[in-house]
Amino acid sequence: MSTAPTTRTVVRDDDQTREANGGPGVLRRDPAGSRTPFAAEPWSATTRFQPVASTGGVPLMDIAERHGTPVYVVDETDVRARCRAFRTALPDADIVYAAKAFLCRAMATWIRQEGLGLDVCSGGELAIARSVGFPAERIVFHGNAKTPRELLDAVEYGVGRIVVDNLAEIPRLAGLVPPGRRQKVLLRVVPDIEAGAHASIRTGGEGQKFGLSIATGDAAAAVVRVLRQPELHLVGLHCHLGSQILAAEPYERAVRVMVEQLARIRDTYGIVLPELDLGGGQGIAYLPDGHGLTPDEFAVTVAKAVRERCAALDLPEPRLTVEPGRSISGPAGLTLYRVIAVKRTLSRTLVAVDGGMSDNPRPSLYGARYTARLIGRRSAMPVRPTTLVGHHCEAGDVIAEGAPLPADIRAGDVIAVPATGAYHHSMASTYNLTGRPPVVAVADGAARVVVRREEIDDLLRRDVGL
């Protein structure tokens, strides 16, 4: 539900106020002095706090007043710049955006226009791609338990690659391929490398649900079974280590394991697989003093590892595919909330807003940390660590611990939380029957709704129990 606007005075957010609200709101610069989206994290590249808080040239208070709160804001310019940064850093690789981070028709269109591929992992994500005419050959279909319906939809649309995740999927997929066609597939193998910010998002080690184990022999068995299926064309191997990975070193280790597997397939079957997909998981900064894994940092390490390992094994270098998701959409998004109440206890200050774990489940799921900033009015008061909480009936409904907000924070204020462009809209729920927020895209001084707010009438229409 949107919150009704309240009367307020919107004033300049000057240097003193910016410091009071949690530090300078200027865009950080790389060593060469140029503006880059990665240097701007956790805020998007076009977010400014002078003379008023704005993103994409659109005042954030205008968005809050017109569209209500909570509301997701996505910076189209930042998304496109991040796409181009990956293409520049890895000019000879296929860059495939991981749709699970955030997808809507507008986002799929931007990704298509920027020349990237699209990694989907459900029939719903594929349907979004199809609805905007996303080129089928640039789609990679993932999933550890793809349903027969999803596999059929993928085959019928002619997706470029299907990533086989288990042995049972091989004959099931082969049986769906029409006569005279061959479906290109990758095998997802487990390199047994743990990486990622939380145990729940580490997917490269033994014992989790994804992929074919090298250690148990399932990966080798899958190679044999795919090669025996004339309807399937094995073109390469795939792995995915996890999410929110902040260093390139785990990818370097993964390259060594995966290239060795390619060499074993060559030595055993006499075939050289031309592709290697290293998945995604590149991390971003969520706090002002944080640092994500940039495309350049990733590319330098990975390219060197592939070159050296392939040379050592006398193997032609495979064409690389990488699947960034969070690192393209994450800092491009922010969420606006309105303060409902402020409580000062003996131990801390609690600032309750009109959203919460239904629009940002990551703190309760993974202990993720966020910052926040007051917008829309000047405060000369010093900042204090506050606990930003949601409106849901859960003690764990916390958005940000230690958020630097001014001491006079009060009901009616609007707060911006950065780095909410990935795994927020895509993981949002209707807990407590709270409708999901809208998504407003901004660029070049214009704002438009790309996903509308979910209202109570939408929830009631699904309830057919009477």
Q: What pLDDT, on a 0 to 100 scale, did the predictor assign at position 1?
A: 40
> What value does the mean pLDDT take over residues 403-415?
97
Of 329, 349, 375, which residue sits at a domain end?
329
In a domain, 466, yes or no: no
Q: Mean pLDDT for the chain?
A: 90
Q: What is the pLDDT of residues 105-136, one digit of tens each?
A: 999 999 999 999 999 999 999 999 999 999 99
Q: Are residues 267 and 343 in the same domain?
A: no
- How far is the CA of 345 from the CAs of 15, 324, 348, 351, 396, in angstroms? 31, 42, 5, 11, 17
Classified as helix, coil or strand, 252 is helix
Q: Are residues 97 and 195 in the same domain?
A: yes
Cβ atoms of 117 and 139 within 8 Å: the answer is yes
Alpha-carbon distance 359 to 70, whole Å? 8
Classified as helix, coil or strand, 212 is strand
Alpha-carbon distance 244 to 326, whole Å? 8
Q: What pLDDT, on a 0 to 100 scale, did the predictor assign at position 66?
A: 98
Q: Looking at the predicted structure, is the pLDDT value of residue 433 above 80?
A: yes
Alpha-carbon distance 170 to 84, whole Å? 35
Give the E-state strand segments of 329-419 in sequence order: 333-344, 349-353, 373-375, 383-389, 398-406, 414-418
Which amino acid is it at 431? Y
Q: What is the pLDDT of residues 145-170, one digit of tens each?
A: 999 999 999 999 999 999 999 999 99
**Among the listed residues 36, 41, 74, the one whose alpha carbon sits nearest the alpha carbon of residue 287:** 41
> What value does the mean pLDDT take over residues 364-369?
91
Phi, then psi, of 150 in degrees rounded to 5: -65, -45
Which amino acid is it at 54? S
Q: What is the pLDDT of residues 80-98, one digit of tens each?
A: 999 999 999 999 999 999 9
Alpha-carbon distance 80 to 115, whole Å? 10
393 flagged as catalytic: yes
Q: Are residues 360 and 213 in the same domain?
A: no
With pLDDT > 70 as the criterion, what percentage of the chain qualifies? 90
Name the token pair of 191: 């390199």
Q: Are residues 179 and 297 in the same domain?
A: yes
> Which among 83, 104, 310, 393 is annotated as catalytic?
393
List the binding residues.
281, 323-326, 362, 366, 394, 423
Q: What pLDDT, on a 0 to 100 scale, did the predictor assign at position 463?
A: 93
In a domain, 63, yes or no: yes
Q: What pLDDT, on a 0 to 100 scale, did the predictor assign at position 195?
A: 55
> What value does the mean pLDDT take over residues 48-76?
97
List the binding residues for substrate.
326, 362, 366, 394, 423
Q: Which residues contact 33 (CB under 8 A, 6 or more apart)?
A: none
Q: Tell me, rounded to whole angstroms, the distance of Cα 443 from its chain centroid.
A: 20
Of 329, 353, 372, which residue sits at a domain end?
329
Q: Are residues 310 and 391 in the same domain?
A: no
With pLDDT > 90 as the criterion, what percentage of the chain qualifies? 84
Q: Are residues 401 and 294 in the same domain?
A: no
pLDDT band, very low/low/confident/very high, at 21 (cuts 50, 70, 90): very low
313 CB-contact burial (10 Å; exposed 0-12 / middle 13-18 / buried 19+): middle
- State the total domains in the chain: 2
Alpha-carbon distance 369 to 98, whole Å? 22
Q: What is the pLDDT of residues 261-297, one digit of tens each?
A: 999 999 999 999 999 999 999 999 999 999 999 999 9
In a domain, 3, yes or no: no
Q: Are residues 405 and 449 in the same domain?
A: yes
pLDDT band, very low/low/confident/very high, at 203 (cuts 50, 70, 90): low
Q: Looking at the predicted structure, is the pLDDT value of residue 199 above 60?
A: no
List the binding residues for pyridoxal 5'-phosphate.
281, 323-326, 423
